[in-house]
Structures are given as structure tokens and as C-alpha cells.
Amino acid sequence: MGIALWAALTLSGWDVVVGCLLGWTLLAVALIDIRRLIVPDALSLPLLLAGVALAIAHDAASGALLGAAVGYGAFALLAWGYERLRGVPGLGLGDAKLLAAAGAWLGCEGLPSVVLVAALLGLAGAMLAGPIDRHRRIPFAPGLALAFWLVWLYGPLNMGAWI
């Protein structure tokens, strides 16, 4: 109900329905990652396709495809580099697919805001959950999902104002 109310107070018309569906899907992704430390393809890939479909409907397919490619590529490269450097996985490809979906919905312009907000939320969540050690696995999708939804609702952060 909270997602529906938030969407209704923030959006109008069909965007309320789209916002609810996006928010509920992202909530499911977050809860599954918290419980099982996995981002299911059954949720992230339809989000990716829905973002591309919406972009096609708004004549912005190239931006959605580029955003998806950049989102996936950035996190896949980060995951590969971390595992190569440390010898253990540090970021799952489910997170990369979720960022690809965010890129499809938001374009490349929204990705820096999503990653920044997600990192801050993930760090705060990890600190609140107790002592951090190098063996503790921390779900990243909850912060990523919330950041994705917030940037979709309100737009990217004005990073230039921070400098």
C-alpha cells in the first residue's frame, strides 16, 4: 500500500500504474535478495524488457538500449575486476542485470544517481546490520532497487550542484 500511495502522491495518469508495478517489482527483488542473496532473472529481465518497451513507446529506444548496456557493462566489469583481484565474488551479475534494467528505464543520465544512492543506502544498511568483516555477504539489490525507484520518480540528482 505504501508504494501505491507514494506513486499516487507523486505521479499522475498512467504513470501511477506504471510506478506501482515498478515499485512492487523492485520491492520483491529487494526482499528476495535480503532473504536469499540473489536477484532473480524472472524479475530483473522483465523489468529490462519493460523499460525498453516504454522507451520505444516514447521514441527513446536508443537511450534505453545504451543505458541498459552501460548499466550491465559497468557492474559486470566491476564484478569481474573484484573477483580477479580478491579471488572471491564481490558483486553478483543479478545486480548487473538490475542496473541494466535501471538503465533501460532511466537512460545513462540516471545511472550515476542510482549507483551513488544505492551505495550510500547499502553502506548504511550494512553498518546498521552489525559488524562488517570480509566474509560477510551483504545484499546490494535492496539499495539498488530503492535508488532505481527514487530516481525514476524524482529524476537524477543534480551532481553539478555538489561541486
Q: Is 158 left (phi over 0), alpha (psi -120 to 50) or beta?
A: beta
Q: Does residue 56 sit within a domain? A: no
Question: What does the mean pLDDT of the chain come to?
Answer: 94
- Per-residue pLDDT tens over the stretch 93-144: 999 999 999 999 999 999 999 999 999 999 998 888 888 787 788 899 999 9
Q: Does residue 50 sit within a domain? A: no
Q: Does residue 134 sit within a domain? A: yes
Q: Does residue 47 sit within a domain? A: no
Q: Does residue 160 sit within a domain? A: no
Q: Does residue 80 sit within a domain? A: yes
Residue of 37, 25, 108 whose CA lies nearest to 73: 108
Domains contained in the chain, number: 1
Q: Does residue 79 sit within a domain? A: yes
- How high is the pLDDT of residue 132? 77
- Do the beta carbons of residue 30 and residue 19 sit within 8 Å? no
Domain of residue 110 covers 61-155
To the question of pTM greater than 0.85 for the whole model, the response is yes
Q: Does residue 85 sit within a domain? A: yes
